[in-house]
Structure 1
């Protein structure tokens, strides 16, 4: 079970859920007692409804035609998966309950209940806030950004650990970037049998990749002025020995 270092700069539940939907490539749909997986078949409208393209002969399409008023109840589930391989790779799950209706050759899903489940627990998201929220501006680029940071700049990741409280790095064996949004960068600290997440907030929100680059440079500059954590010093010494 992970532990978390608390920071105030973080997206709210509604924005977090909308970001997960925007970045997800697949979703699981349960309707009429049948669960089906759809890959690359959904888009999310500006107000949080989900448009799903399904084959005409699918169970879901049949349910939509045969249901009373042609509006079958259904549950949609989305998984927010960390782009960098880590333990416990599912960062969050979003579960939408609601109704499907045929619309322009596809099915339009209108949520009546939204639940965001993270390591900190489950939160029922207010429907008005969910409809009004917008995905994080970095959600579409996050996978590429984190993969590049982990693969091409491991030295930068190690330098950023100087901003982490030493007790959070106790017994650390690996530190990798877990998530990034307009408010900050989250690092996953893996230990022998456990892990924890630490959030490094930006000095100001980043609304695009150019601003993110500047925010990262500020964090690295702050890290350059900080002392190397003793925990990592001991780790290096043990490895050299």
Structure 2
């Protein structure tokens, strides 16, 4: 099923098109989307209220992971202000916010796909030195919020703990870049499935509408179209949720065949 996004005239403050709300799409839950952002390729930076840092200070964790209770483990260089303030607290909890920014791995207008914020309390992990020159800290989750291509949402800590990251997230960057580089004409043909009045899909000029694969999850593919009337997204649902590359390949073939027959 195809679900067109809103035109850019309805873009909210952070600059992303939103899907129309007339028919509820199949989509990852807010908790799943938050877990996907925290655990995968999106960039992250830690903010500690009251901590003054310089431009060269490293507030970005080297690695991050989520434990079964929903707490986030973060690995920082020993010289990071995060490590210094946590060790100086001598076991006392430090309020902190982990901000995640998700940037599309392909060249499109409005590349920031979403942000998530995990607010909680930092403590050092005893013996948490998995490699020389680093310190492991724990962020006990208190509040989780996100604002992404699906909309804004709040996530309860227990929901975050019970959720799982999207199974395609670990290879989404590679898959989107492959679709854009090797299957650009096929992605462009999906324009014909949108059913958007006045859209010049199938016109003699194939460049009338540019199409770039923007986001991918187990439920479907989102494509960003750019034409004379502006920028908009369309969501293309897979026949069934996919769990791996083989399932994705089959689902993409179904979409491309439907587009060629349209």
**TM-score, length-scaled by structure 1:** 0.85
Question: Taking structure 1 as reference, are residues 141 and 168 closer, same or farther at Cα in structure 2, changes over 3 Å only?
Answer: farther
8 Å CA contact retained: 1:71, 1:99: yes
Question: Taking structure 1 as reference, are residues 39 and 112 closer, same or farther at Cα in structure 2, changes over 3 Å only?
Answer: closer
Aligned to 1:4: 19
**1:193: how far off?**
7.4
**Unmatched runs of 5 consecutive residues or more in structure 2:** 1-10, 12-16, 130-135, 202-207
2:36 to 11, 15, 19: 19
| Distance in 2 of aligned mates of 1:37 and 1:193 | 41
| Distance in 2 of aligned mates of 1:74 and 1:200 | 38
Asked if 1:80 is matched to 2:95, the reply is: no
| Distance in 1 of aligned mates of 2:81 and 2:182 | 45
- Alpha carbon RMSD of aligned pairs, Å? 2.2
Aligned to 1:45: 67
Aligned to 2:222: 186
Structure 2 counterparts to residues 1-241 of structure 1, below 5 A: 1=11, 2-5=17-20, 8-34=25-51, 36-38=58-60, 40-67=62-89, 69-103=91-125, 104-105=128-129, 106-119=136-149, 121-167=151-197, 169=199, 173-192=209-228, 194-226=230-262
Question: Taking structure 1 as reference, are residues 196 and 205 closer, same or farther at Cα in structure 2, changes over 3 Å only?
Answer: same
Deviates more, 1:162-171 or 1:103-112: 162-171
User: Which structure's residues are more often helix, by fraction?
Assistant: 1
**Unmatched runs of 5 consecutive residues or more in structure 1:** 227-241
Secondary structure, in 3 states, of the residue corresponding to 1:150? Answer: helix
Deviates more, 1:78-87 or 1:60-69: 60-69
Question: Taking structure 1 as reference, are residues 59 and 101 closer, same or farther at Cα in structure 2, changes over 3 Å only?
Answer: same
**1:220: how far off?**
1.3
Deviates more, 1:3-12 or 1:199-208: 3-12
| Distance in 2 of aligned mates of 1:209 and 1:55 | 35
Q: How many residues align?
A: 226
